[in-house]
Structure 1
């Protein structure tokens, strides 16, 4: 079993835990402000294993993610000087500068697109706070963007349900490496 197969098995075990919704909420909150792993890694297997609860899981993920985004906004607004060295150390400085530039041009729409896309959302929450963009449009765009993404993931995997699991297990290594390559390309494009 490869790297992604091992991780997939681990996440499947976590998603079956009785406290999995709490872990999902905590992961969603943390990812929106400081943690590097997206909540989709738990949302997807939880939705696939328990299709009847997929929309509940998407709601937990969306609300916790938006709350985490509010924390990210607060970090950018109140403590940017303290976190800027961390942004530099983890290699997000180019993405942060790109986010600032995009905010100056597109504002609300940047948050909405960042909330839906695989671009690190935390970069945009911190940049939004640092630039003091309007609070309520920020929250609304976060709800729409994050909600659209997480309900789409949960809905598709609930629709596929347990019959999708063998296919996913068979192709998880390929999917994982393609995802890594796409993320590298996105980071490369953001740093131009």
Structure 2
């Protein structure tokens, strides 16, 4: 099943409008959309290997401009921003930060936090919205988003470019079917343990 899904995603990634869809997803993900652009970048680079730099740039710039939208949501639409933040369970942390953030060391802590949010799987939208709420410097915000998102998407694009063919060959072997089967079993076991102990 996962192999068929992978093959389908490669077909969609090769579609002529895939770059436009990547731009839309990258833009929305930085302010409210839950699915990260990485899930599109990997199959797109595998399907269009020579376009990996173009794909990385599209994801980076549209994600950064989407972050600016998140910033303005936090600045001017506080209720909407807080509902997005609450959805990810960061409401208390954001309110605490908003009340306690001061200039000086607080600025450097927020710089590091924003960079990590852009580079890691943390929900980036929470931090773009929070930046608007606390009135963080928009120019510095834009630069940090551009660098952190650019670094993340370049690594994802480059690794997909470098090892995509190897992964593609693996997905067409018998071993991939066993790997998929074991993956599904592990996910089910973890899911059962989570719900039992919750």
Further displaced range: 141-150 or 103-112: 103-112
| 2:90 equivalent in structure 1 | 95
CA shift in 2, pair 1:154/1:101, >3 Å: farther
> What is the root-mean-square deviation of aligned Cα atoms in Å?
2.5
Q: 1: CA distance between counterparts of 2:80 and 2:164?
A: 44
Cα contact 1:74–1:126 (8 A) shared by 2: yes
| 2:196 equivalent in structure 1 | none
- Which structure has the larger Rg over C-alpha atoms? 2
Q: Deviations over 1:110-141 (max 9, x none)?
A: 11110000001001000111111111111111
Cα shift at 1:6: 5.2
CA shift in 2, pair 1:8/1:101, >3 Å: farther
Q: 2: CA distance between counterparts of 1:54 and 1:129?
A: 32
Cα shift at 1:152: 0.2
Cα shift at 1:100: 6.0
CA shift in 2, pair 1:102/1:47, >3 Å: farther
TM-score with structure 1 length normalisation?
0.80
Structure 2 residue ranges without an equivalent (≥5): 191-198
Match of 2:139 among 136, 139, 142: 136
CA shift in 2, pair 1:48/1:99, >3 Å: farther
| 1:184 equivalent in structure 2 | none
Q: 1: CA distance between counterparts of 2:95 and 2:152?
A: 23
Structure 1 residue ranges without an equivalent (≥5): 182-192
CA shift in 2, pair 1:25/1:172, >3 Å: farther
| 1:190 equivalent in structure 2 | none
Cα contact 2:81–2:129 (8 A) shared by 1: no
Q: 2: CA distance between counterparts of 1:111 and 1:158?
A: 27
Q: 2: CA distance between counterparts of 1:149 and 1:117?
A: 8
| 2:167 equivalent in structure 1 | 164
Instruction: Report the 3-state secondary structure (helix = DSSP H, G, I; strand = E; otherwise coil) of the residue aligned with 2:77.
Output: helix
CA shift in 2, pair 1:162/1:99, >3 Å: farther
Cα shift at 1:99: 5.1
TM-score with structure 2 length normalisation?
0.77
